Structure 1
Amino acid sequence: MTELFSGEVSVHYGFAHLLTNGPEEPAMPDVARRGQRNGLAGAAVAHQVHLITGLHTGSVAFTVAWSAAEPPPDDQWDEVVEVSLDVAKTSGALTSFDDLHPLTLPAAGSHRVRYSAAGFAAGRQVDTARPGPDRYLLQLWPAPPAPDRIVRQTSAHAAYWHDVAWKE
């Protein structure tokens, strides 16, 4: 596993984005989730993933990692979803309203993305903090496209977002 980023990301309105399509604007949340079962990682728009955080405003701990093969599951995470992503360019970014963290991805092409959260519900309860109680892991590995899936859901807040996606 290669760590591409580890640090705090400023969030506003509870979201961030993984972009692999250069300077294009991130998709709106409803468009990013359209047709999906999960509501935490919207990958309906090519080359990007819209990410929901529990914390509304402040900063959250984020790690982005890449591996050559699917990483084993890790039980320390409360919420886990997976989506497919066509990585357009190896120069990507983890972004939010005020933050841009450049990423160098080892490969372009079809990838699977696992988005894992710990403390997601606690972040929602706090609403505003710097740093928030929630933390996130974004793992990427080469894989053929597959439908998005909810691997683990433990909080009512995550269930809410999954329900929102299902209805969009």
Structure 2
Amino acid sequence: MRTPVDGEVFVHYSQICVESDPDGDGADLEGAFAGQSAGLCGAGIPGALWLSTGLHTGDVPFRVEVHDQAPPLDDAWEDVVEVSFRPVSAHTVLMQWAGEDTWELGLRQVDYRVRYCARGMDEGDKARYADG
């Protein structure tokens, strides 16, 4: 297992993306979730993933693990979704909103099965309204 990202990432608008198309316009919300119902990880655009977070704006703990085979699912996760993903270039990054920061993921151009797991989504969403 490799861990290319392990720490806090800053999110805006409850989102962070995986991008592998250096010439593309990025993952748009409508296209990313086309034909999907979960709303947690949009994979409708080739080479991109739209990841939703509970927190609207701020730092969230985030970890990316790359495994050779499916790891066991930990019961601690409250929300889990799996999607298919294939990078469209040799350069795939986890990207903050508007490209403010990126983390290189070191993925090959092969098919992946992505499992996006989250917990505390409801608490993150409620934090948006706590001060207002």
The residue aligned with 1:118 is 119
Q: TM-score w.r.t. structure 1 length?
A: 0.71
Q: Secondary structure at the match of 2:123?
A: helix
Are the counterparts in 2 of residues 78 and 119 from structure 1 also a CA contact under 8 Å? yes
Instruction: Tell me the distance in 2 between the aligned counterparts of 1:96 and 1:11.
Output: 6
Q: Secondary structure at the match of 2:113?
A: strand
> Would you say how many aligned residue pairs link Structure 1 and Structure 2?
129
User: Share of identical aligned residues, percent?
Assistant: 34
Q: State the 1:92 CA deviation.
A: 1.3
Are the counterparts in 1 of residues 43 and 49 from structure 2 also a CA contact under 8 Å? yes
Matched, 1:42 2:52: no
Q: State the 1:68 CA deviation.
A: 0.8
Instruction: Tell me the distance in 1 between the aligned counterparts of 2:12 and 2:60.
Output: 11
Are the counterparts in 2 of residues 56 and 128 from structure 1 also a CA contact under 8 Å? no
Instruction: Tell me the distance in 1 between the aligned counterparts of 2:116 and 2:5.
Output: 14
The C-alpha deviation readout for 1:122-167, integer Å capped at 9, x for no partner, is: 10011289xxxxxxxxxxxxxxxxxxxxxxxxxxxxxxxxxxxxxx
The structure where strand makes up a greater share of residues is 1
Listed as ranges, the matches of 1:1-150 within 5 Å are: 1-97=1-97, 99-127=100-128
Q: TM-score w.r.t. structure 2 length?
A: 0.88
- Distance verdict in 2 for CA 1:23–1:96, change over 3 Å: farther
Are the counterparts in 1 of residues 54 and 121 from structure 2 also a CA contact under 8 Å? yes
Are the counterparts in 2 of residues 93 and 100 from structure 1 also a CA contact under 8 Å? no
Are the counterparts in 2 of residues 83 and 114 from structure 1 also a CA contact under 8 Å? yes
Q: State the 1:69 CA deviation.
A: 0.9
Instruction: Tell me the distance in 2 between the aligned counterparts of 1:96 and 1:23.
Output: 17
Unmatched runs of 5 consecutive residues or more in structure 1: 130-168
For the aligned residues, what is the CA RMSD?
A: 1.8
Letter in 1 for 2:113: R
